[in-house]
């Protein structure tokens, strides 16, 4: 037994030495890993910029729809059987283009009869006129009585009335014959035909006439929207002070974008504001006019309009990415003179390109963190690098945008 223990002792001693060396190395590595934490991480690198002063105008946004300047329902003025259709459904038509024809034969016959009656009436007028002329000499010679002369005078006047009546019948017959051809009253796009050839068309001026088609004008086109009573009062007061806003005077520029467009790239002008406020909704109707030479806008289409909502004013602008959110409040982080990040709560204005107007909360000499905001905590030291912001440019050809009206 003693010999066995003595043989194993050197191996045990070597194992113990290896364990001791491993423990020492682990202690050394652990101490090396803790040394950086004692000094702390370096300050986060951020980019700062000072706000830019720029004159801006607040804008309000409204949802509305396009309406045609002119809209006409094509209805016949005379009754008859529809003989022909002279357009393709949905095509553009010009004023005076032939659209429908009604069977002319009955109206031609009526006109021929009226003309014949006119010839007869004129013949009778010529006879009574000569008879009256002879009666004037006879009554002076006492050959006929005064009563007989008055009878001839009456016959002449009746013949004159008959001629006038026949001439009116001829004119009416010519009109009815002309009305058998239905022509476009305006320039625009026509819809589909509602009646096929061979059907009886009811015409006239009553309410039971047959609708044949409808035409709407395309260029220019109107955009109609409504806004609330508070906005109406604000616009009127600003207009009276000389500001160029959505007033009743018209001519105010309006920007517009369609539902698939990111920016307000279409320009138009205000041309009408209603004279009453709707009692059920508390809103008033307004209208703008837009050029539609390319035919993109269609009556009934929805879009968003942007109108001036304030007088021009000086504002401080910062990149929109520099704004953080804390529940319902908005804030920016500024770097003070000691290189420490400090939060400032702000009141936002409109968006001008990539920059946001700040109405309240910062000063013109504040150094605002515009890059690296997510890496910064209030009261933390930062490594700030100066980077001046660029003036905001409105997107496209439209005026600067603003948050949408929700009231």
Q: Which pLDDT band holds residue 6 (cuts at 50, 70, 90)?
A: very low
Q: Is the pLDDT of residue 363 over 60?
A: yes
H helix or E strand, kind and range, residue 131: helix 105-140
Q: Is the pLDDT of residue 13 over 70?
A: no
Q: Is the pLDDT of residue 95 over 80?
A: yes
What would the mean pLDDT of 384-388 be, rounded to a whole number?
75
Distance CA(232)–CA(238), nearest Å, equals: 10
Q: Which pLDDT band holds residue 337 (cuts at 50, 70, 90)?
A: confident
pLDDT tens, residue by residue, 96-107: 999 999 999 999
- Residue scoring higher pLDDT (17 or 315): 315
The single-letter DSSP state of residue 339 is: S
Q: Which pLDDT band holds residue 142 (cuts at 50, 70, 90)?
A: confident
Q: Is the pLDDT of residue 232 over 70?
A: yes
pLDDT of residue 222: 95
Paired sense of beta strands 324-326 and 313-319, if any: unpaired
Q: Locate 199 and state its tokens.
A: 């059907």
The 3-state DSSP class for residue 127 equals helix
Q: Is the pLDDT of residue 311 over 90?
A: no
pLDDT of residue 14: 58
Distance CA(50)–CA(389), nearest Å, equals: 7
Paired sense of beta strands 188-190 and 211-216, if any: antiparallel
CATH topology of domain 77-216: Helix Hairpins (1.10.287)
Q: Which residues are CB-contacts of 50 (< 8 A; sequence separation ≥ 6)?
A: 364, 365, 366, 367, 368, 388, 389
What are the boundaries of each domain within the chain?
45-55+313-386, 60-69+220-308, 77-216
What would the mean pLDDT of 57-72 be, rounded to a whole number?
92
Percent pLDDT > 90 in the chain is: 43
Paired sense of beta strands 368-371 and 324-326, if any: unpaired
The 3-state DSSP class for residue 266 equals strand
**pTM summary value:** 0.67
What would the mean pLDDT of 232-251 be, rounded to a whole number?
72
pLDDT tens, residue by residue, 170-208: 999 999 999 999 999 999 999 999 999 999 999 988 778
Q: Is the pLDDT of residue 301 over 90?
A: yes
pLDDT of residue 196: 93
For 45-55+313-386, CATH gives 2.40.420.20
User: Lowest-pLDDT range, 209-218, 286-295, 393-402?
Assistant: 393-402
- Is-contact 99 180, C-beta < 8 A? no
Q: Locate 350 and state its tokens.
A: 């409109």
- Is-contact 308 321, C-beta < 8 A? no
Q: Locate 57 and state its tokens.
A: 């105008």
Distance CA(188)–CA(67), nearest Å, equals: 13
| Same fold flag, 45-55+313-386 and 77-216 | no
Nearest CA to 81 out of 106, 98, 110 is that of 106
Q: Which pLDDT band holds residue 69 (cuts at 50, 70, 90)?
A: very high
CATH topology of domain 60-69+220-308: Elongation Factor Tu (Ef-tu); domain 3 (2.40.30)
Residue 225 burial by CB count (10 A; 0-12/13-18/19+): exposed, middle or buried?
buried
pLDDT tens, residue by residue, 247-271: 556 678 899 999 998 889 999 998 8
Q: Is the pLDDT of residue 400 over 50?
A: no
Helix, strand, coil % in the chain, rounded to nearest 5: 30, 35, 35
Q: Which pLDDT band holds residue 112 (cuts at 50, 70, 90)?
A: very high
Distance CA(32)–CA(396), nearest Å, equals: 58
């Amino acid at each position: 037994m003693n010999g066995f223990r003595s043989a194993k002792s050197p191996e045990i001693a070597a194992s113990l030495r290896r364990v001791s060396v491993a423990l020492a190395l682990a202690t050394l590595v652990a101490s090396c890993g803790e040394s950086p934490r004692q000094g702390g991480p370096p300050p986060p690198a951020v980019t700062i910029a000072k706000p830019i002063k720029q004159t801006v105008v607040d804008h309000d946004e409204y949802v509305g729809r396009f309406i045609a300047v002119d809209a006409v329902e094509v209805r016949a003025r005379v009754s008859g059987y529809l003989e022909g259709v002279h357009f393709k459904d949905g095509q553009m038509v010009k004023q005076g283009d032939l659209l429908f024809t009604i069977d002319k034969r009955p109206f031609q016959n009526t006109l021929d009869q009226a003309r014949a009656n006119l010839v007869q009436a004129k013949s009778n007028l010529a006879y009574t006129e000569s008879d009256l002329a002879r009666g004037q000499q006879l009554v002076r010679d006492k050959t006929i009585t005064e009563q007989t002369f008055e009878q001839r005078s009456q016959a002449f006047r009746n013949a004159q009335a008959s001629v006038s009546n026949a001439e009116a019948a001829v004119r009416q017959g010519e009109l009815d014959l002309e009305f058998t051809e239905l022509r476009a009253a305006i320039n625009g796009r026509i819809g589909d035909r509602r009646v096929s050839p061979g059907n009886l068309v009811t015409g006239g001026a009553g309410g039971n006439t047959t609708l044949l088609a409808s035409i709407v004008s395309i260029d220019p086109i109107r955009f109609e929207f409504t806004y609330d009573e508070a906005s109406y009062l604000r616009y009127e007061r600003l207009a009276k002070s000389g500001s160029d806003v959505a007033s009743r005077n018209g001519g105010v520029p309006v920007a517009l974008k369609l539902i698939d467009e990111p920016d307000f790239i279409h320009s138009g002008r205000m041309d009408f504001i209603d004279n009453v406020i709707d009692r059920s909704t508390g809103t008033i109707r307004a209208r703008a006019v837009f050029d539609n030479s390319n035919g993109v806008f269609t009556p009934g289409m929805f879009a968003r309009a942007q109108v001036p909502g304030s007088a021009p004013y000086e504002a401080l602008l910062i990149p929109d990415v520099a704004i953080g959110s804390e529940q319902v409040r908005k804030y920016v982080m500024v770097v003070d003179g000691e290189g420490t990040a400090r939060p400032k709560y702000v009141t936002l204005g409109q968006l001008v390109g990539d920059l946001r107007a700040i109405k309240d909360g910062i000063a013109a000499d504040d150094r605002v963190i515009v890059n690296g905001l997510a890496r910064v905590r209030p009261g933390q030291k930062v490594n700030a690098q100066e980077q001046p912001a660029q003036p905001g440019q409105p997107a496209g050809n439209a005026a600067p945008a603003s948050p949408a009206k929700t009231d």
